[in-house]
């Protein structure tokens, strides 16, 4: 992340620090960067087990990393997460979605038949909800009081927090953070330059000392020169930085981000209940909420990229009616909401017309009745807690499919028992789309309640009941599996099979015949012959 070539050119100006040098400092942590770093730590931790880490594994590594900082008296004072997407970053978001989508397509091309390996080559792309999962875990930890969602990108808000604590270290992987102005003692440390085990070691950068060494009042002109002339030598870039017209329109556009002035939107400062709700949203939902609450912006949602079979229809086709209800709650007065997701081989945008209050009430009432019925039925069947909401999602998926999956495949998906097939991967993505659509609605209802977007009493009552039902949804780490992670351990295998058979029957879906391999057929024949003797 950051300006290409900046970190390389400033590498000689970094300094080594021992724990005693940083004793008493305060850590300002870029939350999304921590999530990606924890993913790398978790990968290393399970490397010998031929599996991928789960969301829970990654969250554990992140909290372990934070505790290791505090063990050497670096106090974690703020962990910041993205909450809104600047308009200037929208094109970049679409490019990133398309780049990640291309990786998934390439994996499918490499494995064109039914077989699919553990998708280790996708790296963090396999984790569609990495940062929200960590934020959720931190909110249930001893770091809840220092964890915040900011109304912008986390890295842009690190500087104001650092300025409030002069002896601060900003931990991030965004090299652009070197360009902001900090107090003289402040440091910027990249996660890749930190070793906490077995002996803590740090390499950090003092923006103030770098400016002094280069005889520059600001590092922004240097960064601007690098962008303009990336092939020039460092000495040539320094000379150009000293002669830049800092009043030119082009330079001012470039430098605006690095002013360090981040302001919270007016609509949140006037409503304490809304401020509280905004601190409990996933990043994509928070981005949408901020756009919907700001009347000057066209609400746009960039759905997280799911790891799926690129040869099949987008898994996000599942749950769109639920998401439309969620969008409508916060965008009742808008003409259109835009939703970005994969279609065929590309990332495309679809215009969705928000529901009227009357139609929103009808949709909410039907969904609430269905969810309540499913929850009550599963409670009566004593379904284990870990399977309740995945089975709710299964109901939603089955209704939308023309060809229902075989029950053994569905059981493997629910148990996280990866069978190295694309069918497993795509069915997992569909169930995750249903689950996340419900989660999206749950969080939008909370924002709607805080803002009272309409005075419709019937809608309010339906949403109140739906909110009560959705309140029992577990965390991302508990709900969402990654193909290739450790299998769930439970002893209710036969109960799960029976429940699935009953779900198929209740939906009037014929249970597909199980495919039996030749080896299994021969084994069954031998066993039958043995019994006949």
pLDDT digits (tens, 9 = 90+) for 62-97: 999 999 999 999 999 999 999 999 988 999 999 999
Q: Are 363 and 323 in contact (CB under 8 A)?
A: no
| DSSP states along 491-523 | S-HHHHHHHHHHHHHHTT-PPPPPP--HHHHHH
Q: Which residue has the tokens 């398309």?
A: 98
Assigned domain for 232 exists: no
pLDDT confidence bin for 513, thresholds 50/70/90: confident
CB atoms within 10 A of CB 205: 23
Tell me the C-alpha distance between 118 and 421, whole Å: 9
> For 28, phi and psi rounded to 5 degrees?
-110, 115
Domains: count for the chain: 2
On whether both 211 and 281 belong to a single domain, the answer is: no
- 26-30 and 201-205 beta bridge pairing: unpaired
The rounded distance, in Å, linking the Cα atoms of 519 and 526 is 11
Residue 256 lies in a domain: no
Q: What is the mean predicted confidence (pLDDT) over 92-119? A: 95
Neighbours of 336 (CB within 10 A): 14
| Domain annotation covers residue 350 | yes
Apex CA 269: angle with CA 264 and CA 275, to 5°? 90
Provide the mean pLDDT of the chain. Answer: 93
For residue 198, give the 3-state DSSP assignment: coil
- Looking at the structure, do residues 482 and 384 belong to the same domain, yes or no? yes
Considering the domain architecture, whether residues 401 and 328 belong to the same structural domain is answered as yes
Are 307 and 425 in the same domain? yes
- Contacts by residues 46-50 (CB-CB < 8 Å, ≥ 24 positions apart): 49/486, 50/118
Residues 382 and 457 grouped into a single domain: yes
pLDDT above 70 as % of the chain? 95
CA dist 178 → 81, 202, 219 (Å):
19, 16, 8
Backbone dihedral angles phi then psi of residue 115, each to the nearest 5 degrees:
-70, 140
**What is the pLDDT at residue 520?**
55
On whether both 286 and 403 belong to a single domain, the answer is: yes
Residue labelled with tokens 């974690």: 76
- The residue out of 215, 236, 263 marking a domain boundary is 215
Whether pLDDT at 148 is above 70? yes
Query: Confidence class of residue 516 from pLDDT cuts 50, 70 and 90?
Result: low
Domain's final residue, options 191, 215, 239 = 215
Neighbours of 260 (CB within 10 A): 16
Tokens of 445: 């209802």
CA pair distance 329, 327, nearest whole angstrom: 6
C-alpha closest to that of 196 among 18, 15, 14:
18
In this predicted structure, the answer to whether residue 133 has a pLDDT above a threshold of 70 is: yes
Same domain, 285 and 407: yes
Residue 184 sits in the same domain as residue 288: no
pLDDT digit string, tens, across residues 362-374 = 999 999 999 999 9
Asked if residue 48 is part of any domain, the answer here is: yes
- Check whether residue 344 and residue 200 sit in a common domain: no
Identify the band that residue 454 occupies on the pLDDT scale cut at 50, 70 and 90. Answer: low
Distance between CA 340 and CA 316 in Å, rounded? Answer: 10
Is 224 part of any domain? Answer: no
Contacts of 267 (CB under 8 A, 6+ apart): 274, 293, 294
Q: Which pair of structure tokens corresponds to residue 54?
A: 């789960």
Distance, in Å, from the CA atom of 167 to the CA atom of 343, rounded to the nearest integer, reads: 49
Last residue of a domain, one of 215, 247, 262: 215
Close Cβ partners of 389 (under 8 Å, ≥ 6 residues apart)? 435, 438, 472, 473, 474, 479
Tell me the three state secondary structure of residue 149: strand
N- to C-terminal Cα separation, the chain: 70
- Residue 170 DSSP SS3: strand
In 3-state terms, what secondary structure has residue 147? strand
pLDDT of residue 212: 95
206 with 307, same domain: the answer is: no
Q: Tell me the CATH number at 11.
A: 3.40.50.1010
Contact between 307 and 122 under an 8 Å Cβ cutoff? The reply is: yes
Q: What pLDDT is attached to residue 532? A: 47
* CA 339 – CA 349 distance, rounded (Å): 5
**Lowest-confidence segment of 226-235, 254-263, 523-532 by average pLDDT:** 523-532
Higher pLDDT pick, 261 / 484: 484
Inter-helix orientation angle 407-415/422-451, to 10°: 60
In-domain check, residue 451: yes
Query: CA 204 to CA 467: how far, in whole Å?
Result: 46
192 and 287 inside one domain: no
- Could you tell me how many residues make up the chain? 533
Strand stretches in 333-454, DSSP E: 337-343, 346-352
What integer is the mean pLDDT of 280-299? Answer: 92
Q: Could you tell me the residue range of the domain that residue 16 belongs to? A: 6-84+118-215
Q: Does any domain span residue 526?
A: no
- Cβ-proximal residues to 490 (8 Å cutoff; 6+ apart), any chain: 384, 386, 415
Say if residue 457's pLDDT is above 60. yes
Task: Give the per-residue pLDDT at 528.
Answer: 47
Partner residues linked to 339 by β-bridges: 301, 350
Residues 187, 284 share a domain: no
- Model confidence at 521, in pLDDT bands (50, 70, 90)? very low
Within a domain: residue 238?
Answer: no
Rounded to an integer, the average pLDDT of 414-424 is: 97
């Amino acid at each position: 992340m950051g300006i290409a070539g900046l970190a390389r050119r400033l590498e000689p100006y970094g300094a080594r620090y021992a724990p005693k040098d940083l004793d008493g400092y305060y850590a300002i942590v870029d939350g999304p960067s921590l999530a990606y770093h924890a993913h790398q730590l978790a990968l290393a931790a399970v490397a010998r087990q031929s599996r991928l880490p789960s969301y829970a594994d990654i969250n554990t590594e992140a909290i372990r990393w934070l505790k290791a900082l505090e063990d050497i008296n670096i106090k974690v004072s703020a962990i910041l997460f993205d909450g809104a997407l600047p308009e200037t970053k929208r094109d970049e978001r679409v490019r990133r979605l398309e780049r990640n989508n291309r990786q998934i397509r390439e994996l499918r091309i490499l494995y064109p038949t039914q077989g699919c390996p553990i998708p280790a080559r996708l790296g963090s792309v396999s984790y569609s909800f990495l940062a929200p999962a960590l934020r959720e875990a931190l909110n249930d930890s001893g770091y809840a009081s220092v964890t915040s969602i900011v109304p912008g990108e986390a890295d842009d808000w690190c500087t104001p927090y650092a300025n409030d604590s002069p002896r601060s270290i900003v931990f991030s992987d965004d090299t652009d953070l070197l360009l902001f102005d900090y107090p003289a003692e402040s440091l910027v440390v990249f996660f890749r330059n930190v070793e906490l085990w077995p002996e803590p070691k740090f390499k950090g950068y003092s923006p103030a000392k770098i400016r002094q060494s280069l005889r520059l009042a600001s590092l922004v002109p240097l960064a601007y020169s690098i962008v303009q002339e990336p092939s020039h030598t460092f000495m040539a870039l320094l000379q150009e930085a000293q002669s830049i017209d800092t009043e030119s329109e082009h330079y001012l556009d470039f430098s605006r981000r690095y002013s360090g002035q981040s302001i919270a939107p007016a609509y949140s400062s006037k409503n304490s209940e809304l401020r509280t709700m905004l601190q409990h949203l996933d990043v994509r939902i928070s981005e949408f909420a901020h756009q919907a609450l700001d009347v000057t912006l066209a609400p746009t949602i960039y759905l997280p990229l799911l790891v799926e079979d690129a040869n099949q229809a987008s898994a996000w086709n599942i749950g769109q009616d639920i998401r439309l209800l969620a969008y409508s709650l916060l965008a009742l007065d808008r003409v259109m909401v835009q939703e970005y997701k994969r279609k065929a081989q590309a990332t495309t945008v679809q215009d969705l017309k928000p529901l009227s209050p009357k139609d929103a009430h009808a949709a909410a009432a039907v969904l609430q009745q269905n969810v309540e019925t499913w929850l009550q039925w599963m409670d009566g069947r004593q379904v284990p807690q870990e399977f309740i909401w995945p089975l709710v999602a299964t109901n939603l998926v089955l209704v939308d499919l023309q060809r229902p999956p075989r029950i053994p495949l569905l059981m493997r998906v629910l148990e996280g028992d990866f069978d190295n097939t694309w069918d497993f991967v795509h069915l997992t993505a569909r169930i995750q789309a249903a689950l996340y659509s419900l989660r999206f609605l749950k969080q939008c209802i909370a924002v709607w309640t805080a803002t009272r977007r309409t005075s419709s009493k019937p809608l309010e009552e339906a949403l109140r009941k739906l909110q009560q039902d959705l309140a029992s949804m577990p965390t991302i780490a508990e709900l969402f599996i990654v193909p290739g992670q450790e299998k769930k351990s439970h002893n209710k295998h036969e109960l799960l099979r029976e429940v699935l058979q009953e779900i198929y029957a209740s939906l009037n879906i014929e249970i597909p015949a199980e495919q039996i391999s030749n080896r299994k057929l021969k084994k069954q024949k031998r066993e039958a012959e043995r019994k006949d003797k």
